[in-house]
Amino acid sequence: MSSEVAHPRLSVERPRERADAARNRARVLAAAEKVFAEAGGADGVTMEDIAKAAGVGRATLYRRYPDTASIAQALLDEHESEIQAGILSGPPPLGVGALPHERLAAFYRALVGLLERHLHLVLGAETGQARYRTGVYAFWRRHVEVLLEEAGAPKELADTLMAPLAPEVYRYQRQTRGLTPEQVAANLDFLSRRVLAGSAGER
């Protein structure tokens, strides 16, 4: 898909780390993932909590990460990059080669899987206005815009179609309404077909 734009996390090689720095980073991220999981998100988690769990000083932690949200985002990077790679170069329906509504449904299923497995991290990094400032949100939105354009629908619908993937919405659906991940994905599949297949005259 020529109009897809690679996210920097996929196209830019990161500088090599010193071995001791890499070990410290891995220890911090492993400790942070455990702390976030136990807390069910970033609410109430402090940098001191993570530093203590990782066995490093707060000054060491702050040299690499300005806040808990940046730590949660670092943990998410690897998982989100896998989906990005699937969109850009993976097989259909997530990758190129399927109809727009099929690709959108596959994208929704991939994001539901991410939210189900790593909701505590997404809640720590991509809630409220912070969600729209992340590079990955721009990547997701551009992908949806391309699918809308291919289906002949207004690309301005992209943020509307992204809204059901907000972590707060997913948490509400799972914990308050009691929906299963499969039900959430099925509802989003219905939305994909109604908006994109209908626009393309395939319904």
Q: Residue 24 has what pLDDT?
A: 82
Burial class (CB in 10 A: 0-12, 13-18, 19+), 2: exposed
On the question of a cis peptide bond just before residue 181, with omega within 30 degrees of 0, the verdict is: no
Comparing CA positions, the residue from 121, 108, 37 lying closest to residue 78 is: 121
Backbone angles phi, psi at 18, to 5 degrees: -65, 155
Q: Cα(170)–Cα(152) distance, rounded to whole angstroms? A: 28
Q: List the structure tokens of 46.
A: 């402090």
Determine the Cα angle at 182 with ends 172 and 104, to 5°: 90
Residues of the chain with pLDDT under 50: 1-14, 201-203
Q: Residue 200 has what pLDDT?
A: 56
Distance of CA 109 to the CA centre of its chain: 12
Predicted TM-score (pTM) of this structure: 0.75
Average pLDDT of every residue of the chain = 86
Q: Residue 130 has what pLDDT?
A: 81
Q: Residue 113 has what pLDDT?
A: 97
Q: Residue 202 has what pLDDT?
A: 45
Q: Report yes or no: 86 and 7 within 8 Å, Cβ to Cβ.
A: no
